[in-house]
Amino acid sequence: MYGLADLVSQLNETFQLMKPVDFVTPAQALRPGHSCTVHLPDTIRDLPMGGINVHMPITFDDGIRWLARVRQRRLASPLREVEKVITENEVETMMVLREVSDLVPEAYLPYSLETMSEGSGQCPLTSLLLVLRN
């Protein structure tokens, strides 16, 4: 079992790994002709999060808002390959549910997590999902 200090440390690691990642390019690639801004707060205290994911608001020039959802780093996280399959299944599930109800937001995987990190060519995050907010 992990203590509060472990959880805070893991969240801080996720936050630091998010800083150099280019979230704008994949979002704009999904909406050609539109520019967007991504808001990454200055501290983890202001980062919207749940028990597993952290979220960053994306706002397009026409007022459309999305969320970038990033899975938090955990000491007991599954292998990167397993994370990829989990995220792909989440997107597929949301796409199927979207066919049944407009209440389900659209979800997208950026073209490749490996192409998202500036400079290094490797994205340190294991999971990113772009979700259209209704």
Q: Report the alpha-carbon distance of residue 109 to residue 107 in Å, rounded.
A: 7
Question: Which residue range forms the structural domain that includes residue 109?
Answer: 4-132
Tokens at 52, concatenated = 């597993």
| Assessment of whether the complete model's pTM goes beyond 0.75 | no
The pLDDT assigned to 46 comes to 85
DSSP bridge partners of 54: 49, 70
The pLDDT assigned to 78 comes to 62
**CATH code at position 114:** 3.30.200
The pLDDT assigned to 61 comes to 96
Amino acid, res. 44: I
Concatenated DSSP letters of the chain: ---HHHHHHHHHHHHHHHTTB--HHHHHHHSTT--EEE---SSGGGS-B-SSEEEEEEEETTS-EEEEEEEPP-TTPPPHHHHHHHHHHHHHHHHHHHHH-TTSPPEE--S-GGG-BTTTS----S-EEEEE--
Return per-residue pLDDT of the chain as tens, 134 residues.
Answer: 567 787 788 888 888 878 877 888 888 888 899 999 988 888 888 888 877 788 888 899 999 888 888 877 665 666 667 777 777 888 888 888 888 888 887 887 765 554 444 444 444 455 566 666 54
The pair phi, psi for residue 16, each rounded to 5°, is -65, -35
Number of domains making up the chain:
1
The pLDDT assigned to 82 comes to 75
The pLDDT assigned to 75 comes to 56
